[in-house]
């Protein structure tokens, strides 16, 4: 049994993928070829934003907007401690400071009330200047952007939607990647929409922001590649990845539907047996992961070991919150600072999730969890 199943997906779109890659090989424009513009148009249309800018990874997609906003030393950027390190890593790469905020116990996304308290505290201390918020759309479910954007407006802060796991999701009728000043997503192969390597994209409705992103993506270029207006990065997506993503977009909506069907079957079978994910009214998740909560770390280990014995993979996202990582020890956080995040990290684990999971596989997974419980 596979945790994700890219082979089944490839078999469905094999002819389109092979033909698309052959087209790239034929025209030979491996960097910034015509498929890049085609993909950016499709992505912007899909997310209902004016602009989409492809880039080399989800990490660069997070980095580029912060560069465009001039985030740097002395600035505070607020984010969640339950996420992949890239979310906070980009803040520190620019010399700014990540300020972590505890999560909501139901959605595992940043808690707006705690966020507002944290911003007020940083302002009152006067050591850092609050500049931006990076909410994380964890496991395919968007954060509460009505509340977050209202808080950001009251404090005059930018909001960068970390949609690395949520491209295709919906929040109150609006698509992920259209919910903030700017959004970043990842096309890492394991994502709901993934390429066959690294890739990412940035979304915005702001024309001036878009122009800056275009420049920063290619070494801060000005009128051409040999005129540089600012210090940038080499953040381009290669043309082959764009071709693959264009092929995958042809079945993406169907895959989202199937992911939601898989999640519904899991929840029906596991509800009342273990704590299953909550999707608030008005939200649509793309189920980047299907994550459940054990009672404690001991029970989690028992369940995961039993699954492994029966040939069923499971993964922990994320076993150690960012505020306890060695990389951020200079921030002087300690265990107990974010109790919800810490409790979740000690109890959470994810089950196989992809559009091609068979009913009998779902039944087996759930039977084995119930059996050990």
Per-residue pLDDT of 286-336, as tens digits, reads 999 999 999 999 999 999 999 999 999 999 999 999 999 999 999 999 999
What pLDDT does 225 receive?
A: 80
Q: How many alpha carbons fall within 13 Å on the CB side of residue 156?
A: 2
What mean pLDDT comes out for the span 230-237?
97
Inter-residue contact 175 to 47 (CB < 8 Å):
yes
- pLDDT for 224 equals 85
Q: CA quadruple 79, 80, 84, 88: dihedral positive or negative?
A: positive
CA distance 244 to 203: 20
**Amino acid 163: pLDDT:** 98
| Spatial CA neighbour of 146 closest among 103, 180, 104, 193 | 180
Q: Provide the pLDDT for residue 34.
A: 98
Element spanning 254, H or E? helix 252-270
3-class DSSP state for residue 197?
coil
pLDDT the model gives residue 2:
94
Tens digits of residue pLDDT in 10-39: 999 999 999 999 999 999 999 999 999 999
Per DSSP bridges, beta strands 182-186 and 290-293 are unpaired
Give the number of other CB atoms < 10 A from CB of residue 361. Answer: 16
Burial of 199 (0-12, 13-18, 19+ CB in 10 A): buried
40 Cα distance to chain centroid? 18
Is the bond preceding residue 51 a cis peptide, omega within 30 degrees?
no
Classify the C-alpha dihedral 168-169-171-173 as positive or negative: positive
Query: What value does the CA radius of gyration of the chain take, rounded to a whole number of Å?
Result: 21
Burial class (CB within 10 angstroms; exposed 0-12, middle 13-18, buried 19+) of 238: buried
Both tokens of residue 197?
A: 């390597």
pLDDT at 10: 97
pLDDT tens figures, 212-232: 999 999 999 998 888 999 999
Under a CB-based contact definition with an 8 Å cutoff, are residues 342 and 331 in contact?
Answer: no
Q: Is the pLDDT of residue 278 over 90?
A: yes
Percent of the chain with pLDDT over 90: 99
Residue 273 confidence class, pLDDT cut points 50, 70, 90: very high
pLDDT in tens, 59-101: 999 999 999 999 999 999 999 999 999 999 999 999 999 999 9
The answer to whether the CB of 198 falls within 8 A of the CB of 191 is no
């Amino acid at each position: 049994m596979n945790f994700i199943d890219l082979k089944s997906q490839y078999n469905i779109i094999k002819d389109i993928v092979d033909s698309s890659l052959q087209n790239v090989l034929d025209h030979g424009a491996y960097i910034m070829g015509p498929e890049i513009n085609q993909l950016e148009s499709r992505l912007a249309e899909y997310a209902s934003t004016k602009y989409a800018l492809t880039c080399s990874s989800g990490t660069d997609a997070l980095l580029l907007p912060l560069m465009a906003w001039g985030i740097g030393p002395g600035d505070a950027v607020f984010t969640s401690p339950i996420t992949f390190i890239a979310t906070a890593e980009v803040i520190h790469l620019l010399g700014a400071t990540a300020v972590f905020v505890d999560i909501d116990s139901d959605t595992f996304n940043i808690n707006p009330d705690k966020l507002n308290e944290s911003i007020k505290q940083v302002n009152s201390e006067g050591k850092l200047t609050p500049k931006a918020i990076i909410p994380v759309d964890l496991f395919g479910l968007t954060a509460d952007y009505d509340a977050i954007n209202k808080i950001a407006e009251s404090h005059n802060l930018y909001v960068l939607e970390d949609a690395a796991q949520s491209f295709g999701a919906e929040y109150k009728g609006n698509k992920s990647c259209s919910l903030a000043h700017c959004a970043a997503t990842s096309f890492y192969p394991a994502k709901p929409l993934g390429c066959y390597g690294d890739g990412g994209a940035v979304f915005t409705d702001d024309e001036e922001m878009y122009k800056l992103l275009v420049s920063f993506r290619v070494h801060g270029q000005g009128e051409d590649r040999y005129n540089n207006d600012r210090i940038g990065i080499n953040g381009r997506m290669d043309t082959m990845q764009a071709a693959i993503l264009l092929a995958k977009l042809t079945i993406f909506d169907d895959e989202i539907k199937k992911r939601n069907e898989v999640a519904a079957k899991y929840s029906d079978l596991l509800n009342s047996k273990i704590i299953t994910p909550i999707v608030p009214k008005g939200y649509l998740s793309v189920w980047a992961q299907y994550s459940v909560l054990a009672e404690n770390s001991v029970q989690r280990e028992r369940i995961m070991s039993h699954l492994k014995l029966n040939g069923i993979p499971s993964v922990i996202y994320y076993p150690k919150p960012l505020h306890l990582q060695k990389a951020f020890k200079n921030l002087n956080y300690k265990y107990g600072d974010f109790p919800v995040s810490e409790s979740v990290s000690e109890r959470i684990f994810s089950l196989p999730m992809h559009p091609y999971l068979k009913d009998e596989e779902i039944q087996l997974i759930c039977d084995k969890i119930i059996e050990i419980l």
